Amino acid sequence: MGFDTAYEGLAADDGDLRWAFGTGFHDALAGVDTTIPDGIGGVDLATYCLMLGDDALIMSHRLQQWLAHAPELEEETALANIGLDLLGQARMLLARAGAADGSGRTEDDYAFGRQVPEFLNVHLAEVTDADFGALVFRLLVFSTWRLALLTHLRDSRDPVLAAIAARGINELTYHRDYAAQWVVRLGDGTDYSRARVQDGLRAIVPLTGELFAATPLELRLARLCIAVDVTGLRSEVDAVLTQVCTAATLHWPGVADVAAHGGSGRDGQHTPAMAPLLGELQGLARSFPGALW
Amino acid sequence: MTNRVRTSDTDGTVLITDDPAQMLHRARAVAALVPDPELPMLSLADLGILREVTIADGHLVITLTPTYSGCPAMREMRRDVHTRLLAAGFADVEVRTALSPPWTSDWITQDGRRKLAAAGIAPPLPTQRRTAGPIPLTLSPLPRVLTCPHCGSTNTVLTSAFSATACRALYRCQACAEPFEYVKEI
């Protein structure tokens, strides 16, 4: 190609020698047809996109907080890449929300401009991890549940949601395998590693009820074949978690019947962990409104 | 298409045409050569993300598919395609993104696979496609038989399921002891 290295060729046209791609933010759905299917309320669709988008955004942020804290470099690259996949899903879903509700809000407006009660993510995404054992168990439950959800969302009548789901399924398959393999390794490991992941399991169980409690909006959109009725995912998710825990010589008690924490993240009610998380996530954007980097 | 395209090849050949078939042929040739920002030894055509080159609503439409949801290079790829087509003489260019069907590593061409191996990166194995039902869990590292791109040995071992980018895993060759990257099947 007439260049000393292939990398120089990248900047040949405009002299832009940035190496950090993706630093200039733009519409995550640029060039995608975002027409809303007939008979669907734009605000309903937008709210549903925010639910799924916030799950991914907040979980991604928690994973990013592990960078420079993971036990090994290989695990940091894994957690960073899983976080990047989820961030990519979040960007498309938040952009879809802004296009659907007619507000014209961008992904940045949603990520940086909302307060705690305006976020609709489940509590499982926002809680902190006591240690790496707790993290891998939380990631196992999150990715198992989200993979099941997206597997059904692939058949959504909204072509954009269906496409985001189809893309996400392949990614979450890797995430779930990564987490499951660590749970087995720690659970079926030393007494100490087993105790760590067992504590993680114990902390997560009460958060699982919320994952299968469908809101009226989800049920409404599920009847229109837009959304997934999460109540139907319970046995599928339980079966996978039982399989992993059995291999890890841990006991999986089954997902909780009801959400134990007061209120649901789907209604904007969050745990005390959420405010500090947003403080970090939004700090720069709030200090320097409109900043680009 | 309202464009009348005057383009010049690297060898100086000048082409002036308003014939749609010739223009599409030329546009595809230009877009196909745009390098991928993260694997610049591959072109967008090698990678299989250049989905369609067509004329719609009176202008040239290039359709790309992102590899991963979080692919940070998508913006650069869209811009590079646009810039190069303008430079090649096309005035009215739109770059669209097709999310469905999702990209799969099976779309990397034979040429692309050769270029990856030549750059020391093991090309992806075929994917196991599933059409319906729950996706089975994999509780131990996938038993991939990879050939070391440095020495050709198949005595290789996974060191990390994720690498510098989401699309790659890290392996080590037990024969020559060199590490190498593997483009994951997805």
What is the spatial distance between Cα A134 and Cα A137, in angstroms, rounded to a whole number? 5
Chain A: residue whose CA lies nearest to B162: A78
Residues A51-76 have pLDDT tens digits of 999 999 999 999 999 999 988 888 99
* Whether residue A4 has pLDDT greater than 60: no
- A89/B69 Cβ within 8 A: yes
Chain B: residue whose CA lies nearest to A81: B166
Residues A198-249 have pLDDT tens digits of 999 999 999 999 999 999 999 999 999 999 999 999 999 999 999 999 999 9
Across B99-103, average pLDDT = 88
In the prediction, which pLDDT does A72 show? 87
* Whether residue A282 has pLDDT greater than 60: yes
3-state SS class at B41: coil
The whole-chain average pLDDT of chain A stands at 89
* Whether residue B16 has pLDDT greater than 80: no
Looking at per-residue confidence, does B19 or B44 come out higher? Answer: B44
**Is B157 an interface residue toward A (CB < 8 Å)?**
no
In the prediction, which pLDDT does B115 show? 95
In the prediction, which pLDDT does A261 show? 59
In the prediction, which pLDDT does B7 show? 55
Q: How much of chain A exceeds pLDDT 70, in percent?
A: 89
* Whether residue B163 has pLDDT greater than 80: yes
Q: How far is B163 from chain A (nearest CA, A)?
A: 6
In the prediction, which pLDDT does B73 show? 79
Chain B: residue whose CA lies nearest to A145: B134
- A168/B80 Cβ within 8 A: no
Of A14, A160, A236, the CB nearest to B134: A236
In the prediction, which pLDDT does B23 show? 86
Tokens of A207: 């958060």
* Whether residue B9 has pLDDT greater than 80: no
Looking at per-residue confidence, does B85 or B166 come out higher? Answer: B85
pLDDT band at A3 (very low <50, low <70, confident <90, very high): very low
The answer to whether ipTM exceeds 0.90 is no
A121 within 8 A of A267, measured Cβ to Cβ: no
pLDDT band at A17 (very low <50, low <70, confident <90, very high): very low
**What backbone torsions phi and psi does residue A23 show, to the nearest 5 degrees?**
-80, -25
Cα–Cα nearest to A247, from A199, A190, A188: A188
In the prediction, which pLDDT does B104 show? 92
Mutation for A interface: B34, B65, B137, most A CBs within 10 A: B137
Q: Is the pTM of this model over 0.90?
A: no
Which chain B residues are within 8 Å of A82, Cβ to Cβ?
Answer: 162
Looking at per-residue confidence, does A31 or A66 come out higher? Answer: A66
pLDDT band at A1 (very low <50, low <70, confident <90, very high): very low
In the prediction, which pLDDT does A19 show? 43
* Whether residue B10 has pLDDT greater than 60: no
In the prediction, which pLDDT does A38 show? 80
Residues A103-153 have pLDDT tens digits of 889 999 999 999 999 999 999 999 999 999 999 999 999 999 999 999 999
